[in-house]
Amino acid sequence: MEISLTGKRVFITGATGAIGGAILKALKESGAWVAGSYFQSEEEAARLMGQGVFMVQADLSDRARARGCVASVLEQGPLDALIYAAGNTRDRTIFRLTDSDWDDVRGLHLDGLVACTQAVLPAMRERKSGKLIAVGSLSGSIGRAGQANYSAVKAATVAFVKSVAREAGRFGITANVILPGFVDSRMTRAAPPAAWERAKADSALGTISSAETVASFAAWLLSDLAQGVTGQIFQLDSRVV
């Protein structure tokens, strides 16, 4: 089934990352107008701008800058959807976790998500239509050793999105979370080899997850085929829990 997103306008944070980039590519190929944010990946951002993608540089862990980033995108026109795919890790055991480790992860994953969501919702409420997709993690459901900070904010992501779904549903706005699994990315490449082996061992298929699978599902979730779907957590993974 071919999905058409012609006429849809979507803002994707973390658009130069593996997951955000794959989603941006899929949505653009489906006919959507796409905008993206990035922090340090200037070369990739320039490549995307060369393809006509509106890109904004911002540190989304700073809530004021996150709101300013969304404002810049909204100056280009109204948005039909926000996809929050920005992320980082600062993995340490709880015995060695520093305030900076905690603040850096909470800031980008949670503060940025909240600020961007609050910035897009008023116009969506006025139009009685809009979609929010947040990229979560299985770590937020089960907790992982060495990832107390990451697991905590990903658990909070689920609770936040479910609350948004309840509060905004009467305005025609949907909110869902995608759990993409262990995907080959800059973030996971920083993980030790043992983490990769564990991900493969935990997979019923013995494989690593695909960013393209996540992108295809995101496109479906943004399409008219997914009307009425909200407050859900979608685990796109082969790890059976």
Three-class SS of residue 193?
helix
- DSSP H helical ranges for the chain: 18-29, 42-50, 63-74, 99-106, 112-127, 139-142, 148-168, 186-189, 193-202, 211-222
Q: Is 38 a catalytic residue?
A: no
In whole angstroms, give the CA distance from residue 84 to residue 122: 17
Q: What is the CA radius of gyration of the chain?
A: 17
Tell me what percent of the chain is helix, strand and coil, each rounded to the nearest 5. 50, 15, 35
Q: Output the six-digit token pair for 82.
A: 């926000």
The catalytic residue among 39, 150, 182, 217 is 150
In whole angstroms, give the CA distance from residue 146 to residue 171: 40
Q: Which residues are catalytic?
A: 150
